[in-house]
Amino acid sequence: MLNLNRREFMGSAAVLAGTALATGILSAAETPRLEIATFRCDVTPPMGHPLCGGWITPVVGVDDPLEMIGYVIRGAGAPIVVCTVDWTGVLNEAHIQWRGLLAQAAGTTPERVAIQCVHQHNALFCCPEAERTVQKQGDLPHTFLPDFLKSCQERSLTALNAALKNFRPLTHVAHGQAQVQNVASNRRMFTADGKMAWRGSATKDAALKMMPDGLIDPWLKTIAFYDGATKVAACHYYATHPMSYYGDGRVCSEFVGIARKQFDAAEPGCTHLYFTGCSGNIAAGKYNDGSKEARVQLTGKIHAGIRASMDRLEPAPITSAAWATQEILPPVRNSFMADNLEQQIANKNTPLALRIRPAMMLSWLRRCEQKIPIVLSGLHLNDVSLLHLPAESFLEYQLRAQKFASNRFVACAAYGDGGPWYIPVKEAYPEGGYEVSVAFCEEGMDPILTQGVESLLKAAPA
C-alpha cells in the first residue's frame, strides 16, 4: 500500500470539481520582483542497475550521463520548483515523495513543485510499491534499486540547497518556436480498410515509412528566462517519444538529451532544460530505423529546431506571474482487479514484462482506491503558459491546450506523475492498439484531464 496521508494530497472540493487554484498572482501595477536559481545533479544509474522497469537489459555501460535539471522561482507567492529528469518515469509514491522533499527544501508546498521525465528508455522507471510487490515473488529481478532512488533524491536536495544561495533577478521572459523537420510521426496509423498499422518508435518497414506523418505538433517551443540582458535558463519543449534505439544496456540521454547538452556546452552561462510534450501516440518511427546513424541524424534535427527557436526569442519585461494547480481523480481501468493482477504477477510461465507490468497496475489500483489525486500545474508569465501534465498523455491534449488559450504561448510538458501509464483520448479506446492496452484509466479520463487543462489556462492572469 502507498505510505501516504490522503489529506496531504487532497485539495478543496472546488478544485476537484474543476476550479484551478492560481496563487501568487502579480499584476503590472505591482511590478513583479522575481528571482530565479537553477540546479542540476547526476542521476545516472550504476552498472547492473535495472532499466525501464527491469524487463530490458540492465546497465552495461554509459554513453552519456543522465541528469535532473531544474529551476526555482520566488517572488510569486511561495517558491516554485520545476525540474526535468532523464528517466523513463517516476510513478505514484516516488513522484509524490520527491516533490515533497524538494518542496520542504525550497520552503514551499508539494503542489508548487513539478517533476517531469524526459522518458528515455535506457533509464530508470520507478514505482516503489510495484518494486515491493515484485520482490515478494522471490524469483523476479528488481524493477529499480530503492537505495539508488534515495541517493538521487539526496543529490537533488544538495543541488537545490546550493541553488537557493545563488538567486538572481528574473526580469524578462521570451518565447520562440520553430518547426522540426522529419522527426515526429504518429504511431497509430490506419490503412485504407481501417486497420491499424502501428509504426512504433522505429521501423524498417518501407510501407510504414511511406505513410504520412499523421497528427503531430511540428513546433519545438522555447521559453527563456532573463536577468536583464543575460539569458539564465532556456526551456525547450517538443512532442515525441525520445527513443532512437534502446534495450542494449547502454545508458543514454537520447537524441533530445544530446542536443540539449550541445547547447549547454555552447552557452555555459545558461541552463538548458528539455521537456517532452504530450507524446503518448507520437514517436520518430517514420524517420528512425533504430540504427546508430539515425540517432546522430535525429540529434542534428532537434539541435536545428532548438537553434531556430532560440533565434526567435525577444525578451520582454515580466509584468504578471502566477502558478495554478488542479487536482484530478482519474478513473481506474474497470478490468483491474487485485486478485487477477496478483495471479498474473505470480505466473512464472509468462514473460518478464507481463509479470512486472501488472505490479504497476496493482499499485495504480490501490492508489485510486485511496483517492490520492494527480496534481496538474501551470506557470503563467505574461502571455506564456507552461503546463505540467501526467504520464504518457496523447498529443491531442497538448493541441487542445493551445486552442483553449489561443491568445497565449502554451507549452506542454507531459510525463509528470507516471502512475496512469498511457492516457489516450476517448476516441482511441474503441480503436484498441498498444497504447490503449496499457492505459491504466478508463476513457472517462479524457474529459477529466481536458477540463483540468482548461482550468489551468483559465487561471492565467488576464
Q: Is the dihedral of CA 136, 138, 143, 146 positive or negative?
A: positive
Triad 413, 419, 422: Cα angle to 5°: 65
pLDDT at 20: 73
Least reliable range by pLDDT among 1-5, 191-195, 208-212, 435-439: 1-5
Residue recorded with cell 520566488: 74
Residue pair 382/34 in contact (Cβ under 8 Å)? The answer is no
Residue pair 312/24 in contact (Cβ under 8 Å)? The answer is no
What mean pLDDT do residues 66-84 have?
97
Kindly state the DSSP code that residue 137 receives in the 8-state scheme. T
pLDDT at 395: 98
C-alpha pair distances (Å), 125 with each of 92, 245, 358, 421: 11, 17, 14, 11
Per-residue pLDDT at 11 exceeds 70: no
What mean pLDDT do residues 359-363 have?
98
Q: Is the dihedral of CA 278, 265, 258, 94 positive or negative?
A: negative
Give dist(CA 424, CA 164) in Å, integer: 38
Look over the chain and give the mean of its residue pLDDT values, rounded to a whole number: 94
**pLDDT (tens digit, 9 = 90+) per residue, 160-187?**
999 999 999 999 999 999 999 999 999 9
Name which of 174, 399, 370 is nearest 282 in CA terms.
399
> Grid coordinates in use for 84?
526535468
DSSP lists the bridge partners of residue 189 as 197
Per-residue pLDDT at 299 exceeds 70: yes
Residue pair 365/338 in contact (Cβ under 8 Å)? The answer is yes
| pTM, rounded to two decimals | 0.95
Give dist(CA 16, CA 69) in Å, integer: 30
pLDDT at 411: 98
Amino acid at 264: D
For 280-301, b/e burial (b = at least 16 CB within 10 A) is: bbbbbbbbbbbeeebbebbbeb
89-90 vs 409-413, strand pairing mode: unpaired
Per-residue pLDDT at 2 exceeds 70: no
**Phi, psi dihedrals of residue 326, rounded to the nearest 5°:** -145, 125
Per-residue pLDDT at 13 exceeds 70: no
**pLDDT (tens digit, 9 = 90+) per residue, 124-145?**
999 999 999 999 999 999 999 9
- Show Cβ contacts of residue 442 under 8 Å, excluding neighbours closer than 6 positions: 331, 332, 333, 334
Kindly state the DSSP code that residue 281 receives in the 8-state scheme. T
> Grid coordinates in use for 424?
489516450
pLDDT at 31: 60
Indicate the pLDDT class of residue 201, thresholds 50, 70 and 90: very high
Name which of 307, 254, 249, 247 is nearest 284 in CA terms.
254
Give dist(CA 452, CA 377) in Å, integer: 9
Indicate the pLDDT class of residue 3, thresholds 50, 70 and 90: very low
34-42 vs 168-170, strand pairing mode: antiparallel
pLDDT at 16: 42
Amino acid at 324: A
Kindly state the DSSP code that residue 256 receives in the 8-state scheme. H
pLDDT at 40: 98
Amino acid at 302: I
Name which of 166, 167, 313, 320 is nearest 229 in CA terms.
313
**pLDDT (tens digit, 9 = 90+) per residue, 370-413?**
999 999 999 999 999 999 999 999 999 999 999 999 999 999 99
Q: What percent of the chain has pLDDT over 90?
A: 92
Per-residue pLDDT at 276 exceeds 60: yes
Report the 10 Å Cβ neighbour count for 143: 26
The dihedral over CA atoms of 332, 411, 238, 160, expressed in degrees to the nearest 10, equals -80
> Grid coordinates in use for 23?
496563487
CA 71 to chain centre: 15
| Domain spans in the chain, listed from the N-terminal domain onward | 34-319+379-418
Q: Is the dihedral of CA 446, 121, 176, 156 positive or negative?
A: positive
Per-residue pLDDT at 228 exceeds 80: yes
Give dist(CA 147, CA 134) in Å, integer: 16
Least reliable range by pLDDT among 7-21, 86-100, 268-282, 447-461: 7-21
- Show Cβ contacts of residue 403 under 8 Å, excluding neighbours closer than 6 positions: none
